[in-house]
Each structure stands twice: as C-alpha cells, then as structure tokens.
Amino acid sequence: MRKILFAVLAAVLLFSLVIHPKEGYTSAQSDIDNALAKVKKQEAEMQKKREEVKQQSAVLDATKGQEEKNLQKIMADIKKQANKLGVLNQQIVDGTIAAKEAGVLSDEADERVKSRDALLKSRLRLMYMNGSVSYMDVLFSATSFSDFLDRFLALQSVVGQDKQILEKNKEDRETQVVKKKEMDKHLAEVQSLALEAEATKDRLSNQEKKKEVLLASLDQNIEQLDGIDEEAEKKLIALASEKAQLNKKKKELADSFKYSGGQLLWPLPGRTSMSDGFGYRIDPIKHVRKLHKGVDIPAPEGTAIVAAESGVVLIASTVSGYGNTVVIDHGNGIWTWYGHIREGGIKVKEGRTVTRGQKIAEVGSTGDSTGNHLHFEVRKNEVAVNPLPYLK
C-alpha cells in the first residue's frame, strides 16, 4: 500500500516538474499573443486613420489645385478691373472738363444776351425821355428829298440793328438751353462714372480680402495635414516599438534568433546602383528640404527583394508615404525597412520569422514615389541611420 502511495506521489511530483513549466510557457506565450493582437488591432485602427488622412490629403491637393486656378482668375480680374478703373478715371476727367466747357459757353451766351438787353432797354429809355416818335414822323419831318433819303437809310439801319439784336438774343438763348442740357448730361455721366468707379474699387477690395483669407486657409490646412502625418508616423513607430518588445519576449521564450551584428545582405541582389542616398535633400513630392532616411535602389517592377538579415516581421502593410512596406526586427534595436513595394508584392506576414536572403517582397512604386525602386532603411533604436556602413 505504501509502495502504491509513494508511486502516486512520485508521479504527481514529476507531473509538477514537467507539465507546469510547459503550462507556464504556454500561458506567457498566450499573454504575448493577446498583447500582439491588441497592438495589431491598434495598428489596424491607425491604418484606417492613415487612409482617412490620405483621402483628406487627396481632397486637399485637389482643392488646392482648384483654388490656385481660382486665385489666378481673381488676379486676372483684379488686373482687368484696375485697367478699367484707370479708363473710368480718365472718363471722369474728360466729363468734368466737358461740363466746365459747356458751362463757360452758356455763361458767355448769357452775358451777350444781358448786354443786348441793356442796349435795347437804353434805346427804349431814350425814346421814352424824348417822347414817342414814330418812324413815319421822322421821315415826313424831312426838309428835302435828300434829307428824306438820309432819314430813311438811318431808320432802316436802326431797324436792322434791332432785328439783328433780337435774332442774336434768340440764338444765344437757344445756345443757353442746349449748353445747359449738355452740362447737365456731362454732370450726370460724371456722377454715374464716379459711382461705377467706387463700386469697382469696393469689388477689388473684396476680392483682395477673399484672396488673403483663401491663402491663409490653405496654409493652415497644409500645416494641419503635415502635423497629422507627423503624429501618425510617431504613433506607428510607437506601436512598432511595442510590437518589437512583445516579439522580443516571444523570441526569448522560444529561444529564437538574436542579431549579434555583422554585415547586412544587399536587399536587391545584382542591383547595386543607387538613385539617391541617405541625408537631407529637396523632397521630389513635397518640394521641401527634409531628411531622406534611407537609400533608393532603382529596379524594374517585380524585382525580388530579400531580407538583409534574419529576424521577425514587424510590419507588412501600407505605411503613409512609404506605400506598401515591410519592417523586420533583427534584435538589439536593429530594424530594416523596405518601402514602395508593388501592389500584391508583400510576400511575408507580420509576426513571422524570416531568414537572411529570403524573398520578402517585390519592387514597385507605391506611396510617395516617382518610379519603380526600393527604399531601404536601417533604424537603430527606432532612429534612421545611414544604411551603407551596415551593407559594406
């Protein structure tokens, strides 16, 4: 009986030594897998947000393009209206001069009428003072035929002068009416042109204000979008860092590979030329000076991309700016990035271990790219460094 009990106790002890460690490992691995699943969910949410940002960026680019055309149209209209304003100002000057000239002519005619009226009134006053004498009395008072002819000619001259004075007065009064109408017309035109010039000035001012508001709005939107891009990249790196830590724990549990240094394998076998190196440059897409965080290796679409060293895949999805991207954690803080992979060209999955020289993707031109090439980065403790010393 004691032998049986001892055997049972021995079996239990052996079970505790063998089975429990296995269960502990499985539990720890499960916890890590759950944490990885949570991080991947957050990455999916971040990816969704990046897609939304990408769509907003496309809309903003389209809007900016359209608004730039609108600005050009406004500027053209401002130039056109400025020319028109100059013409209106000249017309106002011409109209004012014409009105003044008409007024002068009217005043001159008025003075002539007044002068003739004074002459006629003077003659009437003289006739009144000397008594009413008819033209017949003057004629028949002649002492001789010669005197009669002289008197007849004199009377004929006086009558002609009076008639001429009356006709001139009539002409000048008509001139006064015409010139007054012309002056009123010119003054009305000047007033109308002045109002039109003021309206044009106000319209130009409003267009200028709209242009300033539009430019400020575009600058603000661009600045906000750049901020969102920077924030998205920081969050992506933070999630990738968290995944790196979790994968590190998972590898430690499985006694997996740890990178101990050494030369990295060239990621595009046979394609040794580079179109751009590591360092600051004018970005070909955004046209601003910024750090180019890796090297660009041109190659035809579909060219095989291989892992520069063995490690665990951190990212195998689309990354803002990089397009389709693979990121591998080689341990000891060393990551390699492979960007602009063609659509459908990612050949590995996140969380999987890859070996040095294994095909992981194919060359493309997704993301912010101007042609088929591989963008290759090396990051040390999450910071991009020049990859060439690791490849030579």
- For the stretch 170-179, pLDDT in tens is 777 777 678 7
- Residue 182 has a pLDDT of 75
Work out the percent of the chain whose per-residue pLDDT is above 70.
69
- Residue 25 has a pLDDT of 42
- Residue 21 has a pLDDT of 36
Q: Are residues 42 and 183 in the same domain?
A: yes
Q: Give domain status of residue 128, yes or no.
A: no
Q: Are residues 82 and 206 in the same domain?
A: yes
- Residue 72 has a pLDDT of 77
- Residue 294 has a pLDDT of 94
CATH of the domain at 340: 2.70.70.10
Query: pLDDT digits over 46-78, tens only?
Result: 778 777 877 877 887 788 788 777 777 777 877
Q: Give domain status of residue 142, yes or no.
A: no
- Residue 26 has a pLDDT of 44
Q: What angle do CA 335, 339, 342 make, to 5 degrees?
A: 140
Strand duo 311-319 + 323-329: pairing: antiparallel
Q: Give domain status of residue 136, yes or no.
A: no
Q: Give domain status of residue 264, yes or no.
A: yes
Residue where a domain terminates, one of 256, 277, 302: 256
Q: Are residues 111 and 181 in the same domain?
A: yes
Q: Give domain status of residue 218, yes or no.
A: yes
Q: Are residues 167 and 200 in the same domain?
A: yes
Amino acid at the residue 60? L
Q: Give domain status of residue 152, yes or no.
A: no
Residue where a domain terminates, one of 256, 277, 310: 256
Q: Are residues 246 and 261 in the same domain?
A: no
Rounded CA gap, 144 and 354, in Å? 152
Q: Give domain status of residue 134, yes or no.
A: no
Q: Are residues 366 and 243 in the same domain?
A: no
Q: At what angle do helices 2-130 and 145-254 cross, to 10 degrees?
A: 170
Residue where a domain terminates, one of 256, 278, 305: 256
- Residue 106 has a pLDDT of 64
**Total domains, the chain:** 2
Q: Are residues 109 and 225 in the same domain?
A: yes
- Residue 1 has a pLDDT of 45
Q: Are residues 327 and 362 in the same domain?
A: yes
Q: Give domain status of residue 208, yes or no.
A: yes
Q: Are residues 230 and 365 in the same domain?
A: no
Q: Are residues 241 and 321 in the same domain?
A: no
| Ranges of the chain with pLDDT below 50 | 1-26, 126, 128, 130-133, 254-261
- Residue 243 has a pLDDT of 77
CA distances from 51 to 21, 234, 350, 367 (A): 44, 16, 19, 12
Rounded CA gap, 363 and 267, in Å? 11
- Residue 318 has a pLDDT of 95
Domain that holds residue 344: 257-391
Task: Kindly report the backbone phi and psi dihedral angles of residue 266, in degrees, each rounded to the nearest multiple of 5, phi listed first.
Answer: -60, 125
Query: How confident is the prediction for the chain on average, in pLDDT?
Result: 76
- Residue 40 has a pLDDT of 76
Q: Are residues 274 and 304 in the same domain?
A: yes
Q: Are residues 34 and 92 in the same domain?
A: yes
